[in-house]
Structure 1
Amino acid sequence: MLTSGQYIGGDILHVLSQAHPDYEVTILARAREKADTVKQAYPKVRIVIADLDDSDALKQEAQKADVVIHTADASDHEGAAKALIAGLLEGHNKENPGFYLHTGGTGILTWEDAETGNLGQWSEKQYNDWEGVGDLTSLPDSAFHRNVDKIVLEAGETHGDVVKTALVCPPTIYGKGTTPGFDGFLGTGRGPLSSRSRQVYELASLILSAKYIPIIGEGKARWDNVHVWDLSQVYVLLTEAAVSQRLDPEIWGPQGYILAGAGEHSWSDIAAKIAKEAENKGYVPSLEKRSLSREAALEQAGFQAESWGLNSRGRSERAERVLGWNPSAPSLEETLPEIVDQEYKRQH
């Protein structure tokens, strides 16, 4: 069972369906046209039409599922997380636990910059999901996504014998995921609708349309990144661990907080490289750097754009140590030509 957004979830669906065609799949779709697209690409899946506010449907489907993978607005929708956990609790017991793979986001690590109002400043602070997992599970309540993180962490601590939780926390995601366009559940998995992430893509879109290189604050903020293909592998490895009833405490519960970064970038450096790529392709003239205020960034793309001035840095060791995760997809820099072409085509 997978509750998933079109971009991340669609890629997970593809990879899992290729690796494990025997898994029974149920998809939650919020629109009939998306459901039809999924059904055409994956005729064996079962589809439920509902949205994330339909707590009864979420709860009912979670009761039936052995594994729930949740990526549809997962980091910010309290009701969906509560309903899915409640359903798993009702449908499972100590002898037959359910598994909840929840998607957070490393926007949560920007809390210090957000509270101080620092934009674009250099920071040496780096979290660690192995040696410093306690720092991640005890972040301040004011941190972005923290309200939903707490719901998942509490379930893993209080009901860990019945519901095994893993909180996957991806950073900037890039790469063209091939998604069939669905919002829903995947049981115990690439298509045409949504293949676009946000942060880097909105940055490229702004550079192509406004024709300048945006710099927020001092332009020294750094962020981790991961290709969507590598991110999907984290979920595949976790799902395989769940299906095989691998109950290692290093995977689930209070220790199961997994940063999923594979590389790191400076926002100002990436902006300059996007501009250079666009210039080389003849999409824009030679561009100059220009200061972008927090307010203008928010107007451009909300938090996705404001994040260009915030630091979010974490060392991802847990997935490698306990799951054997070995990210191998093209780097963000290697993918920039694809991103620039994709955004140029969207505008023309």
Structure 2
Amino acid sequence: MATKIFLTGATGYIGGEALYSIYQAHPDFEYTLLVRNEEKAKLVSGQYPNAKFVYGSLDDSEVIEKAAAAADIVVHTADSSDNLPSARAIAKGLSSGHTDEKPGYWIHVCGTGMLQWFDWDNDRYGQSPLPEQKYHDIDDIERITSLPHHAFHRDCDEIVLAANESSGVKTLIVGPPLIYGPGRGPVNQRSIQAYNMAKFTLENGFAPIMTGGGSPEWDNVHIQDLGKFFVLAVDAALDPEKRNNPEIFGPHGYFFLEHGTHSWRGLATQIAEEAKKQGFIPEAKTQEGDYKRYGANSKSVAVRARKYLGWEPHGRSLTDEVPDIVASEAKSLGK
């Protein structure tokens, strides 16, 4: 029988790329996709004519429970890091539809925004990272899985991690950092953070930097390298050796995916310079202010995916992508 995949977020940036990548590797799988309505389904069905659809929002727990119970593998990307009802519904559905002898596998997307918690708690916006703010996803796994409850995304993570205590549920959490590059999904192919910074720069004539005197840092990964990870994670769920490895599925199955590191100050400077180079602003100007979204540190070290799944990123760097980011945002603004 064909492997059954239940995926949320097919019309989104991450979910669209996940669906594209998994489908390219496994066109023979049976895909069930959660979308809001038939209009959304039409946007997806042209690219995936054999996909099945279930309709509802992330709050429609019964719909999600039923689909999760029937699936071999759930790939949850739609507001997955923050929507509690959908996480609870997936946990309940997988548990009701599977047993310890034949478990259901849950690939859950979180995000490294959770690692900003220390700067938030200590009002360190705009400051450079401290050594202890770096999280290695093997050596520091106990620190990662026991972050404060109030850390960003942590409440959803707790639901996913606890699901491993239920009969028939095995989980894998993937926490990508800033994602960039054009997606290959059927609807949304645009990321947010760097793109919004470019849009702000084009609209205001300067790139934003958080006041604080330091240089906050984040990590980044190309969307297509994230897509490759989804394929490896799905393949691991089908591999008898890997699916029974507690370092892949279970409370320790927490994967970061950094490929490069950027400072928000450095990225703002490059975007301003590129916007001037392309003729959209008169000077390569940056300006400090209360831009907290670019003011906290998130430092992840991605070793687990490389060690246990053989993941190797090959997408071009964020630095190399910036000219296209600026150009695409200018086009969307009609410049």
Q: Shorter chain as normaliser: what TM range?
A: over 0.9
The residue matched to 1:255 in structure 2 has which SS?
coil
Report if the CA contact (8 A) 2:207-2:269 is conserved: yes
Aligned to 2:3: none
| Residue in structure 1 matching 2:121, options 115, 118, 123 | 115
Aligned to 1:154: 162
Report if the CA contact (8 A) 2:268-2:286 is conserved: no
Letter in 2 for 1:202: N
Aligned to 2:259: 262
Report if the CA contact (8 A) 2:94-2:169 is conserved: yes
Deviations 1:206-263 (A, max 9, x none): 1111011211022400001111100111111010111234311110111101111111
| Residue in structure 1 matching 2:88, options 51, 74, 82 | 82
| Residue in structure 1 matching 2:9, options 4, 7, 12 | 4
Q: TM-score, normalised by structure 2?
A: 0.94
Report if the CA contact (8 A) 1:219-1:309 is conserved: no
The residue matched to 2:332 in structure 1 has which SS?
helix
CA distance in 1, matches of 2:200, 2:65: 40
Deviations 1:134-191 (A, max 9, x none): 11000011111111111111112x12x51110111110011110211xxxxxxxxxxx
Letter in 1 for 2:125: L
1:59-98 → structure 2 map (5 Å cutoff) = 59-98=65-104
**Cα offset for 1:94?**
1.2
Letter in 2 for 1:307: R
Report if the CA contact (8 A) 1:120-1:310 is conserved: yes
CA distance in 2, matches of 1:112, 1:37: 41
Letter in 1 for 2:38: R
Report if the CA contact (8 A) 2:256-2:300 is conserved: yes
Structure with higher RCO (Cα < 8 A, 6+ apart): 1
1:73-222 → structure 2 map (5 Å cutoff) = 73-123=79-129, 124=131, 125-156=133-164, 158-159=165-166, 162-180=168-186, 193-217=187-211, 218-222=213-217
**Cα offset for 1:31?**
3.0
Provide the alpha-carbon RMSD of the alignment. 1.1
The residue matched to 1:12 in structure 2 has which SS?
helix
Unaligned 5+ segments in structure 1 are: 181-192, 298-305
Number of residues paired by the alignment? 323
Aligned to 1:281: 278
The residue matched to 1:167 in structure 2 has which SS?
strand
CA distance in 1, matches of 2:9, 2:101: 27
Is 1:345 aligned with 2:331?
A: yes
Letter in 2 for 1:200: A
316-325 vs 238-247, which moves further: 238-247
Letter in 1 for 2:251: P
The residue matched to 2:272 in structure 1 has which SS?
helix
The residue matched to 1:291 in structure 2 has which SS?
strand
CA distance in 1, matches of 2:43, 2:152: 33
Letter in 1 for 2:160: V
Letter in 2 for 1:126: K
Report if the CA contact (8 A) 2:21-2:230 is conserved: no
The residue matched to 2:173 in structure 1 has which SS?
strand
CA distance in 2, matches of 1:73, 1:324: 27
CA distance in 2, matches of 1:86, 1:42: 28
Unaligned 5+ segments in structure 2 are: 1-5
Report if the CA contact (8 A) 1:63-1:89 is conserved: yes
CA distance in 2, matches of 1:289, 1:325: 36
| Residue in structure 1 matching 2:225, options 230, 247, 250 | 230
Report if the CA contact (8 A) 2:37-2:55 is conserved: yes
CA distance in 2, matches of 1:222, 1:10: 27
Letter in 2 for 1:309: G
**Cα offset for 1:284?**
1.1
CA distance in 1, matches of 2:206, 2:24: 42
Aligned to 1:184: none
Is 1:241 aligned with 2:247?
A: no
Letter in 1 for 2:294: W
Aligned to 2:62: 56
Q: Runs ≥4 in structure 1, deviation > 6 angstroms?
A: none
Letter in 2 for 1:236: V
Aligned to 2:289: 292
CA distance in 2, matches of 1:42, 1:142: 39
Aligned to 2:295: 309
